[in-house]
Amino acid sequence: MVRTDRDGTGDGGCDGRADTAPAGEGAPPRGPAGAGPAPAAHHSLMTRPLLVLFAVAAGAAVGSLYYAQPLLDVIGGDLGAGDGTVGLLVTATQVGYALGILFIVPLGDLRQRRVLIPVMMVLSALALGACAAAPNIGTLAGALIAVGVTTVAGQILTPLAGDLADDASRGKVVGIVVSGILTGILVARIFAGLVASAAGWRVVFLVAAVVAVLLAALLYRSIPVLPARSSTLPYRALLKSVFSLVAHEPKLRISMVFGIFGFAVFTMLWTSLTFLLSGPPYDYPTAAIGFFGVAGLIGALAAQGAGRLHDRGRSVIGVGLAWVLILVSWVVVGFGGHVLVVLVLGIIVLDIGIQGQNILAQSRVFQISAEARSRLNTAYIAGNFIGGAIGSVVATTAWDAGGWPAVCVTGGALSLVALLVWAATRRGALRP
């Protein structure tokens, strides 16, 4: 059976290309996805300055989720909250972000993103300002929930970047924006620690609010004016169609599986790394541990080339290579965890594999339907959240059971399972 995969723009006006690919038996029509007929090929509307702006804005938006993490001790001392209470601030932010992913991001398939994205950035700035002015821990928690809900602009920008790119460069463009998101996450932690130590934790959120407003203005001026969206789905049906996409699209489901595995092992590494570095033989202070994010940043930047593999039709082999790198990285950090140079090398290799796999997965998912890219992204990112939550629990459990060796064995085992899944699906659901 032959399935038509729509590739093109998401705002109903620019043309795209209809790609054909084998599908599983009984694949349903496109109705459940809410997508219309396949458009024809179009030229790229993505310029280099606009791509840089998208990457920076997406990184700044998603990075807002992570300002509080390195500041918990300082915030707790200032607001008179204990460790258990102040630790809930991270949970509050993540809960808000999950709500935003589920209820806001799908609107990218229904509303004009030239307006939707700047509006979300401005709302995020207001929420960040509320964090800076919070008089107590309860108000701060509520403001951080609002930050989480509104900072999803980065996850609306990613499918829009795919829409504005042409068929030959979509993987490269998506790769740069996705790398911008991870860079923003890593830089946010470093930025928060440095600014808070110099001017206090409230200034961190105040500066972030100003940056969000400036980026909102630039995005409104720079995003091309696109024709009205062609989807006429009511909002409730729009949300339901996310689940229909998961049920009916094998390519989406297998990409979500790899996303779950990927973010599980990613979270495992970075969660347990704090335990490792704070004890012997390192005994590093919190500030020094935060700078290990630079190693992750190197990996994220190096992984940008994965998008080019997608554009050259080598996405399937790229996924396999990514999981081989991830598996090797666990071996490296497992045997060399107490040698700093080896540990940093292993972190870089793991981040290259994780982010390379992530870029390939999102590029592959965006091929499924031009009209449903925001909803496809909603499903994929939701899977990542599940993986991150699993990884956090597994990391803590493995560390308690056997320390760093147990974490590395568990991470390696999960990576091996993912590699076996790739081997089993590379001629099926993974095929372009």
Report pLDDT for 7.
36
In contact, 371 and 248? CB cutoff 8 Å: no
pLDDT value at 422 more than 60: yes
Work out the pLDDT band at 114, boundaries 50, 70, 90: very high
Q: At what angle do helices 201-222 and 72-79 cross, to 10 degrees?
A: 120
Per-residue pLDDT of 136-183, as tens digits, reads 999 999 999 999 999 999 999 999 998 898 888 888 898 889 888 888
Decide if pLDDT at 69 tops 50.
yes
- Please tell me the distance from the alpha carbon of residue 21 to that of residue 107, in angstroms, as a whole number: 28
SS3 10: coil
pLDDT score at 305: 74
**Mean pLDDT, residues 401-410:** 94
Residue 232 has pLDDT above 80, yes or no: no
Does residue 45 sit in helix, strand or coil? coil
User: What pLDDT is attached to residue 43?
Assistant: 67
Pair of tokens at residue 80: 């008179």
Q: Do 158 and 181 meet the contact criterion of CB atoms below 8 Å apart? A: yes
**DSSP 3-state of 22:** strand
Task: Report the b/e string of 42-69 with b at 16+ CB within 10 A.
Answer: beebbeeebbebbbbbbbbbbbbbbbbb
From 416, 310, 308, 417, select the one nearest 365 (Cα to Cα): 310
